[in-house]
């Protein structure tokens, strides 16, 4: 029983190819990368497959090939060049593609063909650059991107996977002829659909049938930059994305992304993350602004990273969230009365995961005295990490807050004197704050929780007025550890079991950066043993001895105070049904144990 498990462990942390070996779940996943490039008013995207091959989907307007697309491609360090994909023949999508094709040895240039195609200098430049590499896309074809990543053509010219056809020859025919590609890698999936129309403004509704053929995805790249022509209610229902992303120009004259579409994606009963390369045309609220947007995925989880390094983590939607235990999420900060910007732009509430392992926030609800918002995005939050719920995601308007989860427009707003903050899931209240007159914080000052593990108010407020300055000059620590924090966190161990592996989660939020972390395994926890001035809660048996210090089970504790280790399980599983125990031990440089977790048990399927 023991040898195969050890063999599996060794393969995971020593023998696995470095290019695909996963680190801690606190870090960005490794596998496929998608970059939505800020090309202004247009679309441009680069995909790096797990084997290093790079593909391009549209390339923005004229000039953006050299200004934006080429630097983005180079930054991904390609090992080879595969497909360029042109969604349709509009200049804001094809203008930079000739530069890319002339500069780099892409093998195939896919487009929708010549049906009712216009002719102009930009189109002719693309056709010349594509040359013999040009191929007509095949609806239903599955194209290999490399390393297990694929793209499937869902529709082109109104022809849809499965045999349906919707005549595109109505208003905005060229947009309606856009091709749609579905990108897949593991459980991760993404829709890329050019300017496909959905029946708005008298256009052909190609979206409805195409979305039905595509099915559920994790990420939806907004059709037509968030125009009212597209992103129909039917499409949102069929794709059911957790993350929507949009490329549009700052101050564009088209109103992109429109209020109608933003509110359709991010609504109170289904609040989805919406990220935009720019703040768009006006003062529409309901999305975050990122600049260039990078998405990394291992096919199980994915991270969306803004150009400034801020990020949001997600599980793929096939990952069913475990119920969040009461108290695992704690309300940590409330900014109810900013002074640098208006309340409707600058208010925020912050929560922190204080549990033993990452949690999924899909279905979590946040409420005040007047409203309730339910998350439809499968956000992933590792222990110790804060999540910011903000009213406005544009730093130019919200006072300079970092990236967070933007609440639907006009859904929640916290009163200056008295109100509630309630976090719940499935009717179970995870944490709740009722504040009244005298609550710390004031105009321009947030209220920071002092001890995350203590009650909000027990003989006095467990809060202090913030002192640190953020953004435009208000006081607070949005997205960061409170300056007032004095929480004493326990050392914790958690485990997540999947069919092919189990993941050990070691948390020691008070010991990050200057200690060693030992994640230990045992077949028993009957008596334990004494070591380093502490009682270790698991037995020093054969499994403990064999795994102690193996590979990544022994490591420096990261500064963030959390780490994880994947352990692959051989198939068939040689230890099925046998309880295994785990503990997390913190060692200082003198081999003393300043902290140790309780023991937990788990059984492999």
Check residues 8 and 523 and name the one with the higher pLDDT: 523
pLDDT at 212: 98
Q: 10 pLDDT band (50/70/90 cuts)? A: very low
**Residue 320, helix vs strand vs coil:** coil
pLDDT tens figures, 386-410: 999 999 999 999 999 999 999 999 9
Range from 118-122, 491-495, 551-555 carrying the lowest mean pLDDT = 551-555
- For the segment 564-593, the average pLDDT, to the nearest whole number, is 91
pLDDT at 283: 83
Sequence-distant (≥ 6) Cβ neighbours of residue 98 within 8 angstroms: 65, 122, 125, 126, 128, 129
- For the segment 92-107, the average pLDDT, to the nearest whole number, is 98
Question: Sign (positive/negative) of CA torsion 172, 178, 183, 187?
Answer: positive
Domains of the chain: 2-11+489-603 (2.60.40.10), 31-315 (3.60.15.10), 329-475 (2.60.40.1260)
Q: Which of 360, 34, 379, 28 lies closest to 182 in space, CA to CA?
A: 34
* DSSP of 485-551: ----PPPEEEEEEETTEEEEEEE-TTSTTSSEEEEEEES--SS-EEETTEEESS---HHHHHHTT-G
% residues pLDDT > 90 (the chain): 89
Q: 14 pLDDT band (50/70/90 cuts)? A: very low
The answer to whether 155 and 124 are in contact (CB under 8 A) is no
The span from the CA of 552 to the CA of 555, in Å, is 6
- For the segment 204-214, the average pLDDT, to the nearest whole number, is 98
Question: Sign (positive/negative) of CA torsion 166, 171, 173, 174?
Answer: negative
The answer to whether 382 and 353 are in contact (CB under 8 A) is yes
Query: Would you give the DSSP letter of residue 587?
Result: E
Using a 10 angstrom Cβ sphere, with 0-12 exposed, 13-18 middle and 19 or more buried, the burial of residue 605 is exposed
What does each C-alpha distance from 580 to 402, 504, 525, 575, 601 come to in angstroms? Answer: 41, 12, 9, 9, 5
Sequence-distant (≥ 6) Cβ neighbours of residue 135 within 8 angstroms: 108, 109, 110, 111
pLDDT tens figures, 328-379: 999 999 999 999 999 999 999 999 999 999 999 999 999 999 999 999 999 9
What does the chain come to in residues?
Answer: 605
What does each C-alpha distance from 140 to 3, 254, 258, 391 come to in angstroms? Answer: 46, 33, 32, 41
The span from the CA of 72 to the CA of 89, in Å, is 22
The span from the CA of 572 to the CA of 576, in Å, is 9
How is residue 181 written in tokens? Answer: 């590609």
Q: Which of 332, 288, 322, 324 lies closest to 308 in space, CA to CA?
A: 288
The answer to whether 402 and 388 are in contact (CB under 8 A) is yes
The span from the CA of 116 to the CA of 436, in Å, is 65
pLDDT higher than threshold 90 for residue 320: no
- For the segment 535-557, the average pLDDT, to the nearest whole number, is 91
pLDDT at 430: 97
pLDDT at 2: 41
Q: How far is CA 524 from the centre of its chain?
A: 37
pLDDT at 408: 97
pLDDT tens figures, 160-205: 999 999 999 999 999 999 999 999 999 999 999 999 999 999 999 9
Q: Which of 13, 7, 92, 78 lies closest to 49 in space, CA to CA?
A: 78
Q: Peptide bond before 257: cis, by omega within 30 degrees of 0?
A: yes
pLDDT at 5: 54
- For the segment 137-142, the average pLDDT, to the nearest whole number, is 98
pLDDT tens figures, 217-268: 999 999 999 999 999 999 999 999 999 999 999 999 999 999 999 999 999 9
pLDDT higher than threshold 70 for residue 437: yes
The answer to whether 516 and 555 are in contact (CB under 8 A) is yes
Strand partners, 389: 349, 405
- For the segment 269-285, the average pLDDT, to the nearest whole number, is 94
pLDDT at 12: 38
Check residues 344 and 4 and name the one with the higher pLDDT: 344
3-state SS, one letter per residue, for 435-446: ECCCCCCECCEC
Q: 21 pLDDT band (50/70/90 cuts)? A: low
The span from the CA of 204 to the CA of 165, in Å, is 11
Q: 1 pLDDT band (50/70/90 cuts)? A: very low
- Please state the pTM of the whole predicted model: 0.95
Using a 10 angstrom Cβ sphere, with 0-12 exposed, 13-18 middle and 19 or more buried, the burial of residue 402 is buried
Strand partners, 266: 271
- For the segment 434-459, the average pLDDT, to the nearest whole number, is 96
pLDDT higher than threshold 60 for residue 4: no
pLDDT tens figures, 501-527: 899 999 999 999 889 999 999 999 999
Query: Would you give the DSSP letter of residue 223?
Result: G
Q: 605 pLDDT band (50/70/90 cuts)? A: confident
pLDDT at 385: 97
- For the segment 80-93, the average pLDDT, to the nearest whole number, is 98
What does each C-alpha distance from 269 to 49, 231, 467, 538 come to in angstroms? Answer: 35, 18, 35, 45
Sequence-distant (≥ 6) Cβ neighbours of residue 103 within 8 angstroms: 65, 70
How is residue 101 written in tokens? Answer: 């094709």
The span from the CA of 585 to the CA of 493, in Å, is 9
| H or E element that contains 151 | strand 149-156
Query: Would you give the DSSP letter of residue 81?
Result: E
pLDDT tens figures, 24-54: 999 999 999 999 999 999 999 999 999 999 9
pLDDT at 144: 98
Tokens 């009650």 appear where?
455
- For the segment 578-593, the average pLDDT, to the nearest whole number, is 95
pLDDT higher than threshold 90 for residue 305: yes
**What average pLDDT does the structure give for the chain?**
94
The span from the CA of 562 to the CA of 102, in Å, is 46
Q: 16 pLDDT band (50/70/90 cuts)? A: very low
The span from the CA of 333 to the CA of 586, in Å, is 29
| H or E element that contains 448 | strand 447-449
The span from the CA of 227 to the CA of 229, in Å, is 5
pLDDT at 20: 45
The span from the CA of 329 to the CA of 163, in Å, is 48
Tokens 């002829």 appear where?
177
pLDDT at 122: 97
* DSSP strand pairing (188-192 vs 219-221): parallel
The answer to whether 351 and 389 are in contact (CB under 8 A) is yes
């Amino acid at each position: 029983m023991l040898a195969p498990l050890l063999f599996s462990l060794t393969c995971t942390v020593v023998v696995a190819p470095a290019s695909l070996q996963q680190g801690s779940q606190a870090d960005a996943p490794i596998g496929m990368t998608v970059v939505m490039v800020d090309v202004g008013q247009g679309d441009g995207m680069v995909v790096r497959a797990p084997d290093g091959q790079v593909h391009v989907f549209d390339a923005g307007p004229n000039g953006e090939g050299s200004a934006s697309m080429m630097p983005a491609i180079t930054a991904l360090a390609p090992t080879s060049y595969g497909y360029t994909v042109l969604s349709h023949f509009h200049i804001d999508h094809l203008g930079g593609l000739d530069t890319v094709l002339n500069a780099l040895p892409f093998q195939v240039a896919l487009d929708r063909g010549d049906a009712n195609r216009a002719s102009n200098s930009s189109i002719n430049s693309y056709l010349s650059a594509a040359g013999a590499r040009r191929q007509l896309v095949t609806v239903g074809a599955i194209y290999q991107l490399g390393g297990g990543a694929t793209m499937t053509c869902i529709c082109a010219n109104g022809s849809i996977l499965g045999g349906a056809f919707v005549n595109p020859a109505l208003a905005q025919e060229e947009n309606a002829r856009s091709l749609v590609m579905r990108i897949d890698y593991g459980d991760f999936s993404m829709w890329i659909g050019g300017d496909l129309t959905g029946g708005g403004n008298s256009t052909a509704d190609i979206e409805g049938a195409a979305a039905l053929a595509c099915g559920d995805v994790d990420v939806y790249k907004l059709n037509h930059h968030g125009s009212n022509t597209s992103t129909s209610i039917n499409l949102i229902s069929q794709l059911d994305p957790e993350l929507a992303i949009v490329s549009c120009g700052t101050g564009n004259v088209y109103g992109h992304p429109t209020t109608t579409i933003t509110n359709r994606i991010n609504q109170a009963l289904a609040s989805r993350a919406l990220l935009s390369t720019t703040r768009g045309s006006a003062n529409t609220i309901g999305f975050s602004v990122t600049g260039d947007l990078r998405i990394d995925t291992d096919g199980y989880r994915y991270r969306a990273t803004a150009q400034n390094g801020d990020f949001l983590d997600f599980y793929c939607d096939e990952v069913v969230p475990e119920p969040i235990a009461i108290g695992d999420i704690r309300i940590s900060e409330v900014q109810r009365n900013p002074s640098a910007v208006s309340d409707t732009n600058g208010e925020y509430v912050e929560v922190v995961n204080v549990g033993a392992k990452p949690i999924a926030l899909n279905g979590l609800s946040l409420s005040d005295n007047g409203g309730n918002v339910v998350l439809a995005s499968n956000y992933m939050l590792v222990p110790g990490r804060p999540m910011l719920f903000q009213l406005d995601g544009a730093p130019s308007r919200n006072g300079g807050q970092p990236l967070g989860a933007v609440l639907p427009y006009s859904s929640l707003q916290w009163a200056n004197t008295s109100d509630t903050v309630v976090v719940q899931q499935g009717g179970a209240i995870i944490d709740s704050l009722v504040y009244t007159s005298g609550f710390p914080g004031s105009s321009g000052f947030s209220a920071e929780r002092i001890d995350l593990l203590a009650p909000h108010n027990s003989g006095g407020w467990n809060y202090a007025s913030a002192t640190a300055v953020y953004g435009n000059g208000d006081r607070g620590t949005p997205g960061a550890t409170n300056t007032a924090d004095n929480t004493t966190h326990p050392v914790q161990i958690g485990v997540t079991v999947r069919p092919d592996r189990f993941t050990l989660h070691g948390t020691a939020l008070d010991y990050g950066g200057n200690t060693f972390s030992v994640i230990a395994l045992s077949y028993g926890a009957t008596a334990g043993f004494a070591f380093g001035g502490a009682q270790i809660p698991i037995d020093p048996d054969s499994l403990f001895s064999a795994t102690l210090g193996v590979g990544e089970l022994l490591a420096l504790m990261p500064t963030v105070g959390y780490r994880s280790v994947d352990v692959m399980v051989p198939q068939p599983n040689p230890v099925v049904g046998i309880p295994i125990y785990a503990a997390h031990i913190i060692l200082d440089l003198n081999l003393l144990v300043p902290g140790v977790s309780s023991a937990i048990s788990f059984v492999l399927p």
